[in-house]
Amino acid sequence: MEHVTHDPLGVTVDDLRTGDLDADGVARLRALLAEHGVLVLRRQHLDDAAFVAFLRAFGPLTFTTGEAAADGFPDLNVVSNVGRTTPPRSTWHVDTSYVARPPAYTALRAVLLPAHGGETLFTSQYRAADSLPADLRALVDGRTIRHVVTGVQLGEGDESAAEHPILRPHPLTGQPALYLTTPARCAAVSGLPQDEADALVASLFAHSTREDNVFRHAWAPGDVVMWDNACVLHRADHSGVVGDRVMHRGMVADHVPTGAVS
């Protein structure tokens, strides 16, 4: 499995067809994701059935309550600008971090690409953790952030908030990553009054999303992009988009499926 790595994060695999993946291949992709955060698979040209089969090779899928599902595929949701008079909003975030066990992996397949623009951006939260100034490192050590839901309508009994360590060890490697999401979803920091918590989250967010810590993926027809929610933030760049942009998104629940041996 030949691959090319990117700086500051990400890896492109050019010689893989998702339909040919076996257990060893999935394990290698998991390892690449744990190390590099983002996996780019070129020239796949999958339909939804093949995309779901690829995702299920990693384990059971999960779906964010309140999102719009793809027609005929309830495990996938649609990300689209079609019919909108204003661009969609997208801020740096982690998917569904307001639950006790957030989704391990998220993947997008390109359904319809605009003539211009529409990149997806990622940050390395490993690098963000490693490069924290000493004063911030001391301040966050041992603390948690309370992540809360915004922007979706939950069902009865759905989780709406969860506590996560600010320095969260990766579930597979144990390497610490700076784990936060968009500030509007970071409701509190353990042991700090609200004003200090808000200021800390703002500082961590700015530190994480510095331009030198960003990988920009420019989409091409047939692309599938998968990322590890334990070690990256992401957002779509909707500025300057010309034309329709449609993606289908799926999420894998766990880094190691239930019953598997890590």
pLDDT (tens digit, 9 = 90+) per residue, 179-205? 999 999 999 999 999 999 999 999 999
10 falls within a domain: yes
Across the range 136-147, mean pLDDT stands at 97
Tell me, what's the pLDDT at 138?
95
CATH number where 70 lies: 3.60.130.10
Least confident piece of the model among 66-70, 96-100, 134-138: 66-70
258 falls within a domain: no
Across the range 212-237, mean pLDDT stands at 97
Tell me, what's the pLDDT at 87?
76
pLDDT band at 261 (very low <50, low <70, confident <90, very high): very low
Across the range 143-150, mean pLDDT stands at 97
- What percent of the chain stands above pLDDT 70? 98
Q: How many folded domains does the chain comprise?
A: 1
Across the range 219-246, mean pLDDT stands at 95
Tell me, what's the pLDDT at 51?
98
Across the range 227-253, mean pLDDT stands at 95
Full residue range of the structural domain in which residue 223 is found: 1-253
Torsion sign (Cα): 25, 29, 30, 34: positive
102 falls within a domain: yes
